[in-house]
Structure 1
């Protein structure tokens, strides 16, 4: 378990703890062990275990818990995680824990796409938003986590608007479909087939579906093609029938693990004999399942994995150049967050002081009005009451504003000042809750 505490403390009425397991320190099969099967009951369990607020974020690449508490118990968060997810103590070695400013900085970087497997990816921003909105809607997250998550979501949006961190496709499937879309005047009007039913084929199918392209899908067994079409997209076609349809197709994506060529030179030569238009083929298989000689046939445009990988790498390099710009935006926002949190810390004392003095004002006002009862009417009483408010405001505004400024400025002296003010006006942190 990796822990970062102490030096990164935030001036909050509560403290923020982030515990996480991600693709960086755990393979997928290990990551799955940390997921919460019942997210709602898991939120409740963390609250029952001492958290004042809680947000749970789960994606295919990470499981994270954000907890806010006055006196955060990091070990308690881990114990509750182990209990909720059915983990053993040895499993907790994969968990990273950060507190205070480090935890907030991580959330900012996460929402901005800097902590993702694919730098700058957009999906994580929506995942963070949905996790927070679920927690807020069910009263697991309130003022403190709301402020932090709202800030992180705004920063994530701003980073994507101001920088090029999310520009350019960085997945093989997205680049392939994008190239096909650029090649054809209207890809939706073309006859398209996807060969394969694995993860690579799934990514291609999702990219085609996103563009509204109707396509056929085939696999070596019809049941797999049918299951794929039901869960992802596409119209299933029997494998043997699909191999006999090449003369009808305009666009073919091949993403399989077959140990032999599915599309041979002979098969494509026969298919091209009786057609006028060109056909585009993407071989996204590893090893390749389209014979390279196919590229020599007139009217056939073949693009393989290596060519696409070069474009992907170029886009990745372009995104990486934007990381420093994105981090600068985050650093600037962290200063604003820190100031806001410091003001929050001073506010309970300020409110308590005004409340205490107002009780004195009300008591003395009643005495004065009682003494003037026979000589004053409603209008005179209203004027006297307004005078009492004005006196309180005039006396307290300057010192209380000064207290707020000192707390925002930070430093040991500001902490001592707030303690003195709290003591002078008998502010009780526990009773104020």
Structure 2
């Protein structure tokens, strides 16, 4: 049984998502699997706007998933520091056939802040790779995530979703348009060389930015700069580079703030510009003597990191404006309805096909048992006919043909009942009619489509 625990920009606060992002990845997946004996696999998808745990529960349909859910919540809480009660109130639970449809929609960009954004498909793919490296995948999770990648490519190729190349990076720069009069003249500092750095640089260049430098807290700036034709900033010069930039874009994966008010003030002092202190209660600016250093120009800091790369106190520095993921998500544009509807239809169709395959596979042992039983009867009749002197090819062909005719309807009914979630009816019928007894393995059971609906995780009793 597939289970999903989901927190996203739709149902969770930015602060909780920020904490969950720290506890994401293979380590959390390993802790989840270790917490419950029936959990055979876990894949964590942790991005800037969502945290999702996809779990493979080795239990038959009808067994409550809540013990495994609570065990997973306990593991996530231990890794992220988010209290269990908060997680129970925040996380949405989906199990059964709805898991596939949700992941396919996520991977296709339909659940993103910016509908159709392209980065999410790569993030989902990397999540599976991390789970493989941690040894926490299962055959069913592998099939689920591989099918999700195929679906996202189909949605991208057949609909208008993402045709404008929109992304969080590009949306942030659109929101910054009113603050930047001329991108060609703007001094831009890119902080980070990770997953968003390349996309950020490409989006900046599309806007006309020419004066872009890069700094990396991890020391990778020179390599990134060389491969992208820009200049690198050394650690010793970082504060001054921040102070001298018109626009700063941060997109690092570190857990600590790389920019705060103290760094900006130190940088301004180093480059010889004045920064009037602000009274944080009244927001009044305390003016300095007339012979003070030149005024610092207005600065825009765009923080694309999660956890935050930039401390909130930077807005207490005169002239500094902060645009972070929380603000960006508030200004996300409305969906392009026609393209979205078409994409969701493709996602729904792919999810139904995924579930149908799983459900048909759930009765495979019963189908094999019935075929074996009928074939044994056929072979016995052929042997009996031969023992009576009837070894004609026509008799054997007739018996084989009759076997195929007799099996046709049971094979069709197996698919129909499996897709309806009525596997038990098929098993009962085999036992009642033929005395064929089959004990379906727990991993082959599938929840009916009625269980596709999501529900809030109930509080523990």
Structure 1 and Structure 2 fold alike (TM over 0.5): yes
1:420 aligns with 2:429: yes
- Asked if 2 retains the 8 angstrom alpha-carbon contact of 1:54 and 1:68, the reply is no
2:119 aligned partner:
123
User: Which of the pair is proportionally richer in helix?
Assistant: 1
- Provide TM-score, normalisation by structure 1: 0.60
Q: C-alpha separation between the residues in 2 aligned to 1:335 and 1:315? A: 30
The one of 37, 41, 44 equivalent to 1:49 is 37
SS in 2 for 1:17: strand
Q: Is 1:398 the counterpart of 2:394 in the alignment?
A: no
1 CA distance for matches of 2:298 and 2:202? Answer: 17
CA distance in 2 between partners of 1:346 and 1:430 (Å): 8
Aligned to 1:141: 138
Paired residue secondary structure (1:62): strand
Distance 1:197 1:41, change over 3 A: same
Cα deviation, 1:103-139, whole Å, max 9, x if unaligned, reads 2322122112122233222222122234345657958
The residue aligned with 1:207 is: 200
Rounded Cα–Cα distance in structure 1 between residues aligned with 2:232 and 2:72: 46
Residue 64 (1) aligns with residue 60 (2)? no
Q: Retained in 1: the 8 A contact 2:414–2:426?
A: yes
SS in structure 2 of the partner of residue 104 of structure 1: helix
For residues 99 and 194 of structure 2, the distance between their equivalents in structure 1, rounded to whole angstroms, comes to 37
Distance 1:371 1:51, change over 3 A: farther
Contact preservation (8 Å) 2:169, 2:200: no
Tell me, what secondary structure is at the counterpart of 1:427? coil
Partners in 2 of 1:288 and 1:40 — Cα distance? 39
| TM-score of the pair, normalised by structure 2 | 0.57
Q: Which has the higher contact order (CA 8 A, sep 6+)?
A: 2
What is the DSSP-based 3-state SS (H/G/I as helix, E as strand, rest coil) of the residue aligned with 2:4? strand
Highest Rg: 1 or 2? 1
Structure 2: runs of 5+ lacking an equivalent = 178-182, 226-230, 250-260, 274-296, 303-314, 324-328, 445-461
Distance 2:317 2:441 in 1: 72
Determine which of 424, 429, 432 is the counterpart of 2:439.
429
In structure 2, the residue matched to 1:38 is: 27
Aligned to 1:169: 166
How many Å apart are 1:406 and its aligned residue?
5.6
How many residue pairs get matched? 356
Unaligned runs of 5+ in 1: 1-14, 181-186, 247-251, 265-280, 292-303, 307-311
**Aligned-pair distance for 1:30?**
2.7
CA–CA separation in structure 2 for the residues paired with 1:173 and 1:204 = 12
CA deviations over 1:273-296 (Å, ceiling 9, x no partner) = xxxxxxxx99644879999xxxxx
| Residues 194-226 of structure 1 deviation map (CA, whole Å, 9 limit, x = unaligned) | 55465799967753379799976378xxxx889
- The 5 A counterparts of 1:116-265 are 116-132=112-128, 140-142=137-139, 144-166=140-162, 167-171=164-168, 195-196=188-189, 207-208=200-201, 217=213, 227=219, 229=221, 233=225, 234-236=231-233, 254-255=247-248, 258=264
- Matching residue of 2:376: 359
Cα RMSD (Å)? 5.3
- Given that 1:196 and 1:254 are in contact with CA atoms closer than 8 Å, whether structure 2 keeps it comes out as yes
Change over 3 Å in CA distance of 1:339–1:44 after alignment to 2: closer
| Residue pair 2:119, 2:167 contacting (<8 A) in 1 also | no
- CA distance in structure 1 between the partners assigned to 2:44 and 2:202 by the alignment: 30
Tell me, what secondary structure is at the counterpart of 2:39? coil
Residues 82/104 of structure 1: CA separation in 2 closer, same or farther (3 Å cut): same
- Paired with 1:130 and 1:231, the residues of 2 have a C-alpha distance of 22
The verdict on how the C-alpha distance between 1:43 and 1:424 changes in structure 2, with shifts beyond 3 A counting, is farther
Q: 1:333 maps to what in 2?
A: 350
| Contact 1:16/1:67 (8 A) holds in 2 | yes
Report the counterpart of residue 87 of structure 2 in structure 1: 92
1:21/1:75 CA distance change after superposition, 3 Å = farther
User: Is 1:25 the equivalent of 2:12?
Assistant: yes
Distance in 1 between the 2:211 and 2:53 partners?
Answer: 37
Equivalent residue of 2:116, what SS? coil
* Contact kept in structure 2, 1:36 and 1:42, CA below 8 Å: no
Alignment partner, residue 343 of structure 1: 360
Tell me which residue corresponds to 2:311.
none
CA distance in 1, matches of 2:388, 2:72: 62
Specify whether residues 399 and 196 from structure 1 end up closer, same or farther in structure 2 by C-alpha distance, changes over 3 A only. closer
